[in-house]
């Protein structure tokens, strides 16, 4: 049974890497005028749906994303490490569960697209709906704080090397180890940048100074508008590096289930 769980977890890592690869490649292509478009998770799914055998690709991705969601929720509930009663353990385990919920929802979106052909996206309307409530600004502000925390943690992981802890490096060749370290540093840095920009955009909405706190597309818009298309493209390629890290991790990860 554990072997089946491991295979499901590893398939999930591949699926997550595939989503980031699509987001990064499509956005980088747009940045360097090679086609493509600024993309987030929903855009990546829509791109897959438009390819030959798109329904099959979406189905495979949905299964993988459900696998990753299972892993991210199962690990904090049953895995080792600091317990829920410790502050560090609570934050880490809660973060895993939130991640699991997000990727489970993305898997559901992919499955829904197979059935109905629509993405079911509604991130901005959800933000607008929240802001129309008396408590909306507080919730958006809390989300912004969480995103800021995530951004700082991603940068910390990039330059502390903590991203290496979940990989059995003894099983890697020298070439694979170098690729892992380089992809991890670049990939987690790019994720930190994107999360930091999203935190800023959500703070603006919470303070009533902004109307758009969308996902990665809004972050890419911000990068392009303020720093130019080349910088946006470099950050997008960083997400491709993160995808490479996920592919290596999928093969050599220390699965704690």
Q: In which band, very low, low, confident or very high, does the pLDDT at 1 lie, cut at 50, 70 and 90?
A: very low
For residue 214, tell me if it sits in a domain. yes
In three-state secondary structure terms, 3 is helix
Q: In which band, very low, low, confident or very high, does the pLDDT at 4 lie, cut at 50, 70 and 90?
A: confident
Confidence (pLDDT) at 19: 95
For residue 21, tell me if it sits in a domain. yes
Look at phi and psi of residue 161 and say left if phi exceeds 0, alpha if psi is from -120 to 50, else beta: left
CB–CB of 202/148 below 8 Å?
Answer: no
| Mean pLDDT, residues 66-81 taken together | 80
Residue 4 has φ and ψ, to the nearest 5°, of: -65, -40
Q: Could you tell me what percent of the chain has a pLDDT over 90?
A: 45
Query: Tokens for 48?
Result: 């897959």
| Mean pLDDT, residues 154-175 taken together | 89
Whether the pLDDT of residue 114 is over 70: the answer is: yes
Confidence (pLDDT) at 6: 86
For the ranges 45-59, 84-98, 138-152, which has the lowest average pLDDT?
84-98
Tell which wins on pLDDT, 131 or 63. 63
Distance from C-alpha of 246 to C-alpha of 15, rounded to nearest angstrom? 9
Expressed as residue numbers, the domain containing 188 is: 3-252
CA distances from 230 to 19, 190, 201 (A): 22, 14, 21
For residue 206, tell me if it sits in a domain. yes
Distance from C-alpha of 44 to C-alpha of 19, rounded to nearest angstrom? 6
What is the chain's mean pLDDT, rounded? 86
Whether the pLDDT of residue 53 is over 50: the answer is: yes
Whether the pLDDT of residue 119 is over 60: the answer is: no
For residue 19, tell me if it sits in a domain. yes
Confidence (pLDDT) at 211: 63
pLDDT digits (tens, 9 = 90+) for 211-247: 666 688 999 999 999 999 999 999 999 999 999 999 9
Distance from C-alpha of 91 to C-alpha of 95, rounded to nearest angstrom? 6
Query: Tokens for 46?
Result: 């829509």
Q: What's the number of domains the chain is made of?
A: 1
Confidence (pLDDT) at 84: 59
For residue 257, tell me if it sits in a domain. no
Confidence (pLDDT) at 98: 83
């Amino acid at each position: 049974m554990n072997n089946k769980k491991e295979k499901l977890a590893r398939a999930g890592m591949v699926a997550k890497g595939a989503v980031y690869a699509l987001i990064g490649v499509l956005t980088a292509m747009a940045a360097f005028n090679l086609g493509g478009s600024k993309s987030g998770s929903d855009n990546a799914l829509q791109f897959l749906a438009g390819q030959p055998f798109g329904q099959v690709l979406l189905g495979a991705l949905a299964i993988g994303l459900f696998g990753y969601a299972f892993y991210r929720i199962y690990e904090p509930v049953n895995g080792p490490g600091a317990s829920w009663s410790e502050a560090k353990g609570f934050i880490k385990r809660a973060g895993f569960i939130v991640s699991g919920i997000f990727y489970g929802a993305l898997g559901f979106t992919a499955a829904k697209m197979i059935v109905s052909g629509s993405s079911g996206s509604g991130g901005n309307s959800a933000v607008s709906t929240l802001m129309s409530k008396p408590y909306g600004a507080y919730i958006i502000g809390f989300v912004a704080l969480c995103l800021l925390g995530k951004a700082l943690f991603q940068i910390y992981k990039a330059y502390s090397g903590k991203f290496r802890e979940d990989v059995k490096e003894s099983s890697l060749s020298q070439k694979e180890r170098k690729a892992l370290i380089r992809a991890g540093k670049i990939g987690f840095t790019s994720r930190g940048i994107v999360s930091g920009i999203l935190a800023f955009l959500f703070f603006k909405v919470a303070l009533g100074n902004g109307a758009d706190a969308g996902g990665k597309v809004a972050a890419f818009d911000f990068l392009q508008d303020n720093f130019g298309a080349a910088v946006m493209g470099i950050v997008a390629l960083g997400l491709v590096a993160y995808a490479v890290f996920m592919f290596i991790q999928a093969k050599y990860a220390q699965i704690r289930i």
